[in-house]
Chains A and B, each alone.
Chain A
Amino acid sequence: MLDLLLAPVLTGIFVALMAGPLGCFVVWRRLAYFGDALAHAALLGVALGLILSVSPQLAIVMSCVVLALLLSQVRQDSQLSADTWLGVLSHGSLAISIIAITVAGAGRVDLYGYLFGDLLAATYRDVILLGFCGLILAAYLIRYWDSLVCLCLNEDLAKVEGIAVERHKVILMIAIAFVTAMAMKLVGALLITALMIIPAASARMLSNGPGRMAVLAMSAALLALGAGMLASFHWDVPTGPSIVTAACLVFMFGKISAKVLSQK
């Protein structure tokens, strides 16, 4: 039993720890829509993996990273806002990939698992990959934390102060793309953005500094993960949605208690 659960639990913990601080950047830089587009690109990756007969995981990571790089290069169109462009790309890829997965993967692939997560499919290979990338991400965030916060505040100011803004933006996007790809097994394509945004939003209420918010977002994500997984095993409901529901409960609890405290 423990053997069976260890890899999924560790995967969940690593994803939650990475989603916390990256979720803060998603919120600060208003990238929620970008996160959705990435998640849907992950599904497109699944479809491509099936059609080209390569490992779906590799295809997912690759398509997310490619989309992230493409979007970071897209200049604002004069007629359509970036939001609208993302909406077109995001929902377009969702629709196309569902058709492609249904056709190419008929009988072989569990579409439901990709949409809402299939945590038990996590393997030790995932754990090692996540652990390795998590360490790199942690080192990067700690080293460049001030610069990253600065570029959220004003990109021009950051550039004049000698921060390599474009490079950091691309790295952040790739990191978000990677976590999106890895979180697919945990909560599924449709709920990945929630796993980044909700813990960050919960952490905001109790934070007076960006670093504290990132740490609290990690804690909120871990709390949601633990509660969601327990609920999922206890009542035999899907794990991904349970985790996101738990995250929402943490958020609402925090919001209500903050309100009560402020009235006292």
Chain B
Amino acid sequence: MTEPFLLKAESLSIHRQGRTLVDKASLSLQAGKVVSLIGPNGAGKTTLIRALMKLLKIDEGHLHIKEGLRIGYMPQKLNLDASLPITVLAFLSLNQKRDEHFFESAEKTDVRCIFERPMQSLSGGELQRVLLCRAILKKPQLLILDEPAQGLDVNGQAELYRLIAQLRDELNCGVLMVSHDLHFVMAATDEVICLNQHICCHGHPEKVSLHPEYLKLFGQQQAANVALYTHHHDHQHGVHGELIEPCNHNH
């Protein structure tokens, strides 16, 4: 029944300066499965994935990572200073041989035609494709994508999610992506985890979309597949960030 996991977190908590950023989050990632992490701004999504990649200290809980796991990471953005001249090809070639797989990856993510362009001149969608290409260069067993579709228009988003699903099939890798846009997440994902410091609800996308916690977090409007959404706070936070009205856990 239980497939071998790539990465498994057991009630991870992260506290910073007296605030709880992630509260007892548990999740498990498997090969060939797409897991989407959704939640309002400031819900700790980026904090949680950074902790999963061991970029942050974990205060409580356990993190089991399959030995020798190759992770491909697609960050939200680059810290690219205008003074650093670098073309797409040069960026992708950093610490990377230009072998067959290199050009295949570039082909798949459709970045060959922009190889000679300076990184600074790329549009949002082009940059996302370049970052995704970089993430799959090392033949990852697990892809971690931080808001891969940000700044893309509706067509661009659909295209990107289609590409991610295709890469998952071809590489047979696990995928964990952070997302705002539920509309697309629902179709392209096997499991949705709804995070708001703690995991409010998780499961199959259709089940989650009917879950009362989910509806509380994102509102009926969003649940009705409206791409643009505003987040309604379901609970208030005290001075130190503790939940005054905790959600009813229902996992």
Contact = CB atoms under 8 A, between A and B. Distances in A.
Given A78-B17, A156-B55, A161 B84 contact: no
A150 B86 CA distance: 11
B4 interface: no
Given A160-B55, A160-B71, A209-B90, A153 B78 contact: yes
Majority-rule SS of B interface residues? loop
B53 interface: yes
A212 B87 CA distance: 12
Interface string A29-48: 11000000000000000000
B138 interface: yes
Of B71, B84, B91, most buried by chain A (CB within 10 Å of CB) is B84
Contacts of B78: 153-154, 157
A27 B95 contact: no
Contacts of A189: none
Contacts of B93: 146
Contacts of A209: 85-87, 90
Interface in B38-87: 50, 53, 55, 71, 73, 75, 77-81, 83-87
Contacts of A96: none
Contact of A28 (B73, B83, B90, B91): B83
B219 interface: no
Interface in A1-56: 27-30
Nearest to A78: B17
B173 to A, nearest CB: 14
B118 interface: yes
B94 interface: yes
Contacts, number: 72
A154 B75 contact: yes
Q: Which size class do B's interface residues fall under?
A: 20 to 34
Contacts of A27: 81, 83-84
A163 B73 CA distance: 13
A75 to B, nearest CB: 11
Contact of A147 (B79, B95, B118, B134): B95
Q: Which size class do A's interface residues fall under?
A: 20 to 34
A126 B91 CA distance: 38
Contacts of A262: none
Nearest to A163: B95
A146 B91 CA distance: 9
Interface string A185-212: 0000000000000001100100111101
A207 B55 contact: no
Interface of B: 17, 50, 53, 55, 71, 73, 75, 77-81, 83-87, 90-91, 93-95, 118, 134, 138, 144
Sorted from nearest, which 6 A-B pairs have the closest CB atoms? A160-B73, A146-B94, A146-B95, A207-B85, A28-B84, A27-B83
Given A27-B83, A150-B95, A154-B79, 19 more contacts: A30-B81, A146-B95, A153-B80, A153-B84, A153-B86, A153-B91, A155-B79, A156-B50, A156-B53, A156-B55, A157-B75, A157-B134, A159-B55, A160-B55, A201-B83, A207-B85, A210-B90, A213-B84, A213-B85
22 contacts: A27-B83, A27-B84, A28-B81, A29-B81, A152-B79, A152-B84, A153-B79, A153-B84, A154-B79, A156-B50, A156-B55, A157-B75, A160-B53, A160-B55, A161-B95, A163-B95, A200-B83, A201-B83, A204-B85, A208-B87, A209-B85, A209-B87
